[in-house]
């Protein structure tokens, strides 16, 4: 059995692993697996295609349905170019704050979830506690779906999932979906004085960007449905944040690359928006090929995270409200893995310590008060699983 680590001990250890999304998270997962094994809890890994990253899930307590999943991601965003006043991968306490990369987003919650394991075993929970730790959440919620699909087939079905993104310990029941598209337009270079004989990739890309603007404007003008109305803004938006192409002012651009960020309200289908964009791209491509058959438009989807919508008959929401005492209506604009659990049939809510405004920032921190409130939440959750 482990020498018992406190939640703060666990936070220190987790932050010490520099699990930036571009790098491996396996050393952190090795630590987690060894920690769980010390309590007789078996961990299961689900690797990515490279074998350099993995998800990890575990089941604590009786082999019965009706448990609770605590879900968190293990990756963090880079520190490149940020002005840190302390070592980002060492937790430093100062003025009631715990500084370090991932303290808020979201190794603080991960540490609290791990600390709940020995407490659950000591108390003799009657319904299980399940842990779900993912990779590559920060680059598009890529890893979690593979883990969730496996959990559905190998573990007793949980009745609630709590995704511990930072909400200030409020009960969040909705967020928008996020879809990312990488678009490359291939044209044909000619001197701009003969532009009618060539195909400008930039000019075609500009038409697609304008199409995105028009769709957003049309969405904004419509009356939002009741679910969309609770979001700010209350409509699906399409945004182009990066664009580059061309070689000279007097040459039709051979290539142009840009990205599209679609933020869908939960009542709209991400797949349908992608299909609409592809259809418009196909129309423009057909026109361009009448001039030069080499012209084409490549579209790849680099992220797809469905929205989370308030549930008609929830089990996660009332549980989290019971544990927090929060009866307010809260939705967030950022994406999480909650929608991926929900679309696979799990009742899901979001609740975790910390302030999302501190996520991804230099000198990221979680307050000691928020961390302690998260710890108290875990104790109440264990009480609930004991009394069930």
Cβ-based neighbours of 7, under 8 Å, separated by 6 or more = 111, 112, 115, 371, 374, 375
Containing 312, the helix (H) or strand (E) segment is none
* Tens digits of residue pLDDT in 320-329: 999 999 999 9
d(CA 346, CA 312): 13
- Residues annotated as part of the active site: 75, 137
Instruction: Supply the Cα-derived Rg of the chain in whole angstroms.
Output: 23
Q: Which tokens sit at 325?
A: 């005492």
* Tens digits of residue pLDDT in 303-317: 888 999 999 999 999
Percent share of the chain, pLDDT over 90: 95
pLDDT at 303: 86
* Tens digits of residue pLDDT in 150-201: 999 999 999 999 999 999 999 999 999 999 999 999 999 999 999 999 999 9
What average pLDDT does the chain have? 96
* Tens digits of residue pLDDT in 54-104: 999 999 999 999 999 999 999 999 999 999 999 999 999 999 999 999 999
Region 27-32 average pLDDT: 98
pTM: 0.90
SS3 at position 217: helix
d(CA 205, CA 256): 7
For residue 280, pLDDT over 60 is answered with: yes
Token look-up 């929205």 returns: 307
Contact 143, 150 (CB under 8 A): no
Containing 57, the helix (H) or strand (E) segment is strand 54-60
pLDDT at 1: 46
pLDDT at 2: 56
d(CA 155, CA 153): 6
d(CA 285, CA 262): 21
Q: How far is CA 141 from CA 96, 138, 275, 337, 338, in A?
A: 31, 6, 21, 6, 10
Region 289-296 average pLDDT: 97
pLDDT at 310: 94
Q: Which tokens sit at 145?
A: 């779906």
């Amino acid at each position: 059995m482990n020498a018992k680590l406190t939640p703060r001990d666990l936070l220190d250890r987790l932050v010490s692993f520099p699990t930036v999304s571009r790098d491996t998270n396996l050393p952190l997962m090795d630590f987690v697996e060894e920690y769980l094994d010390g309590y007789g809890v078996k961990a299961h890994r689900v690797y990515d295609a490279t074998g350099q990253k993995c998800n990890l899930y575990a089941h604590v307590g009786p082999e019965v349905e009706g448990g609770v999943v605590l879900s968190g991601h293990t990756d963090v965003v880079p520190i490149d170019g940020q002005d840190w006043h302390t070592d980002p991968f060492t937790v430093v306490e100062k003025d009631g704050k715990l500084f370090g990369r991932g303290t808020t987003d979201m190794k603080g919650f991960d540490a609290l979830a791990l600390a709940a394991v020995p407490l659950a075993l000591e108390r003799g929970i009657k319904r299980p506690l399940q842990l779900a730790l993912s990779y590559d959440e920060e680059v598009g919620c890529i890893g979690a779906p593979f883990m969730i699909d496996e959990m559905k087939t190998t573990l007793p079905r949980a009745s609630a999932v709590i995704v511990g993104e930072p909400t200030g310990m409020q009960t969040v029941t909705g967020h928008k979906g996020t879809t990312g598209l990488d678009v490359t337009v291939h044209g044909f270079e000619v001197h701009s004085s003969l532009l009618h004989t060539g195909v400008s990739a930039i000019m075609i890309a500009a038409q697609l960007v304008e199409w995105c603007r028009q769709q957003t404007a049309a969405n904004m003008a419509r009356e939002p449905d009741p679910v969309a109305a609770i979001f700010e803004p209350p409509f699906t938006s399409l945004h182009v944040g990066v664009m580059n192409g061309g070689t000279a002012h007097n040459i039709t651009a051979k290539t142009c690359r840009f990205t599209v960020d679609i933020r869908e309200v939960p009542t709209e289908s991400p797949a349908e928006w992608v299909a609409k964009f592809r259809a418009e791209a196909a129309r423009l491509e057909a026109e361009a090929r009448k001039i030069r058959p080499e012209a084409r438009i490549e579209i790849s989807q680099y992220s797809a995270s469905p929205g989370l919508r308030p549930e008609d008959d929830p089990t996660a929401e009332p549980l989290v409200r019971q544990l927090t005492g929060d009866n307010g209506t809260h939705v967030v604009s950022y994406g999480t893995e909650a929608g991926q659990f929900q679309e696979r049939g799990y009742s899901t809510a979001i609740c975790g310590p910390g302030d999302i405004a501190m996520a991804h920032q230099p000198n990221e921190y979680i307050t000691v008060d928020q961390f302690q409130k998260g710890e108290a939440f875990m104790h109440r959750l264990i009480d609930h699983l004991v009394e069930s």
